[in-house]
Structure 1
Amino acid sequence: MEVFNAYNILLSPTNILSTLLFLTIVIAWTFFKSSSLPDKRDVALFRRNVVYKLFFSFVFGLFYLFFVEQGGDTFSYWTSSGAIKKLLFHNFDNFWEVMTNPPTTERLYGLFNYNTGYPYRFIYLEEESFFVAKILAFFRIITFDSYFACTALFAFIAANATWKIYTITSQLGIFNRRLLPVFVLFLPSVAFWSSGVSKDTVVFVSILFIIYYLYKVLKTPGPFFSKLAYWWWLLFFTVIIYHTRPFILYAMLIPLILMYSTSIINKIQSFAILRLLIKSVIYVGITGAFVYVIAYFSAVDLLNSSSALSDAMIVQQDFEQNTSVYGGDDGKRYSLGEIEYTPVGILKVVPASIIAGIYRPFLWEALRPSLIFNGLESVFFVALTIWFFVNKFRFRLKVIQSNEILMFAAGFVLVIAFMAGFTSIIFGVLVRIRAPLLPFLGLILSIDYKSYMSLLIKEKQESEV
């Protein structure tokens, strides 16, 4: 097994040269791509976006190398990917068997050996984590085993994913022009947790690309074959999420239904009754399913019917009770109180879970270096949430209901906030799981009345011409 050594990762000649090479490639490609953007204001914004992601991804890597014991999970993924890469060149048949079959103890000790090294057992035997190691093995090959060269590539991919969302949202003309880039491109905690070499980056990037390509499918006119490339990338990133963090895919199901149904409703311009009927059927169906679960399922039925909820209960109880492993009440964890694992019992903690998933850690709970960005952001989000409800709330609600991306955002924020707040218990886990929801929460909070009215006036003038 590869021994943890920060010097070999950071300062060996090969790693330094590879890092400089790929940083040069990333920066050159950034300047090349940004120079072709039609809006010159976006040129500097795109470049700042890439530099911002590079900075925080390198901070993430250095933090784990020097301040987390044995490099934490990022080095565990890195070590495991190294064993896979060596297996490729040592014995292709064994490599292919590892890549195409589920992990077992027999394969772990039968296919890997002293020459290839061994992946970490806890990484290999969890299919989702080992899938991330497989992805990293590809990046290790093309970057000559340089951790920070891989970091530069991950940051560049994350920057492009966030830019995709920024392009489609900035064109809508309904958001505050100052807040929009902050939420989508420049949130510090999101850049820190979701730009470096980690599972969180893979998941975050995949979520953004799914939304982007689904939106392109919904908005691009023409037959199915004209959208084939969009469908391909949509399927590609769906598969990646399914293999890395499948509960996120399940959590996206209802928000994606809301997004798709809103698109259908918006295309029906002349039949107000039909639009109302479709909207009512969707909302009643979702509400009815929820009420049915609450009214008729016992705790045992509910847990047995949902492996995701059963796993969530196990994770929640493990984090809550195992203080010898995860730490005690020294500022690292929070509590939702006593939880009854019944439909009604879980319903009672939904508000507290959602609040925790969105706003915690509060500033006074985030005094450690790894959480300080989250504490400062919580102040920002609380203030904007209050403003959201007290300033033209009905207008904002109407805008959300009429926009595909905002309907997805509203559903996604609530579902992920509940899941993160309910299961995490530890602040360090919470801030990583909930990071993908923050840009979408920002979209909702940055709806701007003046921008929306300017858009209506512009559309009216164009229609009159």
Structure 2
Amino acid sequence: MDLKDLFLTPFYLALFYGLAFAVRKRFTNSLTKKYFIPALSVKFLGAISLGLIYQFYYGGGDTFNYYLHTKIIYQAFGDSFAAGLKILTTNGTYEPSIVRYTGQMFWWEPDSTEMFVVKIASLLGLLCFNTYTVIALFFAFISFCGMWAMYITFVRIYPLAYKNLAIAVLFLPSVFFWGSGLMKDALCIGALGWVFYGFYHVFIVKKSLLLASLLGSLGAYIVISAKIYILLSFTPPALFWIFNENNARIKSATARLLLKPFFLVAGAAIAYVAATNLTAGDKRFDVEKIGERSKITQEYLSEYVTSGSAYNIGELDGTLGSIVKVAPQAVIVALFRPFLFEARNPVMLLSALEATFFLYLTLSLIYKTGFFMSLKLIASEPILTFCFIFSIIMAIGVGTTSGNFGTLVRYKIPLMPFFLSALFIMQNKAQGARRRIKKAPLIAQGRTSPQAA
């Protein structure tokens, strides 16, 4: 960060807020309007805070590595527009005409997910004199658009919980902090919101098909290009939701019962085929090699962490069987840790407080509702089934590969809005059920009292 950040940031903030106020009426209703500007504001706060913490607390990090690459590309555009354009359109291969620039980029390689983010940041940098903070604000704004799409989708599914859903999707500190700045996470959490919006409107309610298809496709492209494992976690529960919806529309109870196993098997098969086709040949996420990659990644991150935040969930030997074995511990780590006594720095303490809240809310819901009644409620509500399956699949993935809490807190943010939203919807439904149970005797008494008289 330098002086141009101080001068240009207020100007671009004013532009973003002006745009937000101009479009707020179109994308909100009487229930959601009051959250629109505050939600955008915390995204901007997260973007700026992320840069400051990485600069003054960590002394560098990924966000400045992205910016370093954008500076090189910005210089290339300054020297020759053709050279800059060549960098943006080349997929990490050796090109003599631009090697003087690409030779300085340690992320320059074919199919680099980091370079995908760098190229987006570089395009945005052309609009703001390649100012770090303004690029971060652009990322925050893009992320906010996707998160707002996620929020209004949840509200349309279950409007009674709109207040709690705002907390779950828009105001979780870890999500708006790690998911706002010049980072891969900001693009991915926003893109996931578009995927969720597109999926729900195209396949479930079948409304706004053109817009939903465009947003869903754009979100899927970004996720595939940056963090494909998010889409791999999303696909199985999404397909299960589709089959559940189709199964529910069958009028005959006998036919529903007979066809449900078929839908489950077909959904699992389609999900597996989709996952293998999406990742075939990918050295990082190939489904056939996922166990091996999890082992390597976990060992690397655990070995090189220096903040004392490493955790151990058991030994991974490179097979899928070992992942299944440690899966329960991975879920607990991703959803409910670090515990408060495991926090080693202020950033980890923030994550620990959220994890404690998740644990408290989960246990209190199960206690008040009952374990088997909770399972019945989850199974009976497609949105709850989807959210919990997605959260568990992703928790297993990030819990087994992270190896330390510092990495985990970033990797798990895509699942956090879905898990907490599901908890809040469950809480609302359970409270409604308890109120109906309490009212039932009074209603019955009211009906019988005239006869008794």
TM-score tier by shorter-chain length is 0.7 to 0.9
After superposition, give the CA deviation of every residue in 1:233-290 in whole Å (9 maximum; x if it has no partner): 2222211111111222222221221232233234x15232333334322435678999
Moved more, 170-179 or 419-428: 170-179
In the other structure, the counterpart of 2:153 is: 168
Gap change, CA 1:436 and 1:38, over 3 Å in 2:
closer
1-side partners of 2:37 and 2:375: how far apart?
A: 34
1-side partners of 2:266 and 2:244: how far apart?
A: 15
Supply the AA of the counterpart residue of 1:77: Y
1-side partners of 2:431 and 2:152: how far apart?
A: 16
Supply the AA of the counterpart residue of 2:423: L
- In the alignment, which of 340, 353, 375 is matched to residue 363 of structure 1? 340
Gap change, CA 1:19 and 1:454, over 3 Å in 2:
farther
Native 8 Å contact 1:94 1:111 kept in 2: yes
In the other structure, the counterpart of 1:434 is: 412
More RCO (CA 8 Å, sep 6+) = 1
- In the alignment, which of 252, 257, 261 is matched to residue 271 of structure 1? 252
Supply the AA of the counterpart residue of 2:305: Y
In the other structure, the counterpart of 1:244 is: 226
In the other structure, the counterpart of 1:296 is: none
| Alpha-carbon offset, residue 353 of structure 1 | 1.0
- In the alignment, which of 101, 107, 112 is matched to residue 122 of structure 1? 107
2-side partners of 1:221 and 1:194: how far apart?
A: 29
Map of 1:64-463 to 2, 5 A cutoff? 64-69=54-59, 71-104=60-93, 106-107=94-95, 111-113=98-100, 119-122=104-107, 124=109, 127-173=112-158, 176-221=161-206, 227-266=209-248, 268=249, 270-284=251-265, 306-320=288-302, 322=303, 325-327=304-306, 331-392=308-369, 393-446=371-424, 447=426, 448-449=428-429
Supply the AA of the counterpart residue of 2:47: S
2-side partners of 1:429 and 1:271: how far apart?
A: 49
Find the residue that maps to 2:346 and give its secondary structure.
coil
Runs of 4+ in structure 1 over 6 Å off: 286-290
| Alpha-carbon offset, residue 408 of structure 1 | 2.6
Gap change, CA 1:228 and 1:345, over 3 Å in 2:
same
Find the residue that maps to 2:415 and give its secondary structure.
helix
Native 8 Å contact 1:331 1:365 kept in 2: no
In the other structure, the counterpart of 2:276 is: none
| Alpha-carbon offset, residue 190 of structure 1 | 0.7
| Alpha-carbon offset, residue 80 of structure 1 | 0.8
Find the residue that maps to 1:371 and give its secondary structure.
helix
Gap change, CA 1:24 and 1:269, over 3 Å in 2:
same
Aligned pair count reads: 421
Q: Percent identity?
A: 26
After superposition, give the CA deviation of every residue in 1:172-228 in whole Å (9 maximum; x if it has no partner): 337645432211111001111101110011111111110111111124547xxx723
Native 8 Å contact 1:332 1:426 kept in 2: yes
1-side partners of 2:175 and 2:206: how far apart?
A: 33
| Alpha-carbon offset, residue 25 of structure 1 | 1.2
2-side partners of 1:442 and 1:64: how far apart?
A: 28
After superposition, give the CA deviation of every residue in 1:309-352 in whole Å (9 maximum; x if it has no partner): 322221112223x3xx322xx63211113334444433221111
- In the alignment, which of 26, 36, 47 is matched to residue 16 of structure 2? 26
Find the residue that maps to 1:370 and give its secondary structure.
helix
Find the residue that maps to 2:180 and give its secondary structure.
coil
| Alpha-carbon offset, residue 433 of structure 1 | 0.5
1-side partners of 2:20 and 2:159: how far apart?
A: 28
TM-score normalized with structure 1 length: 0.81
Native 8 Å contact 2:335 2:395 kept in 1: yes
| Alpha-carbon offset, residue 132 of structure 1 | 0.6
Supply the AA of the counterpart residue of 1:380: F
Native 8 Å contact 1:218 1:263 kept in 2: no
In the other structure, the counterpart of 1:294 is: none
2-side partners of 1:146 and 1:305: how far apart?
A: 39
1-side partners of 2:210 and 2:82: how far apart?
A: 34
Supply the AA of the counterpart residue of 1:359: F
Gap change, CA 1:119 and 1:237, over 3 Å in 2:
farther
2-side partners of 1:126 and 1:217: how far apart?
A: 30
In the other structure, the counterpart of 2:441 is: none
1-side partners of 2:137 and 2:286: how far apart?
A: 43
In the other structure, the counterpart of 1:298 is: none
Gap change, CA 1:272 and 1:316, over 3 Å in 2:
same
Find the residue that maps to 2:134 and give its secondary structure.
helix
In the other structure, the counterpart of 1:463 is: none
> Could you list the runs of 5+ residues in structure 1 that have no partner in the other structure?
1-5, 291-302, 457-465
Native 8 Å contact 1:361 1:427 kept in 2: yes
Find the residue that maps to 1:334 and give its secondary structure.
coil
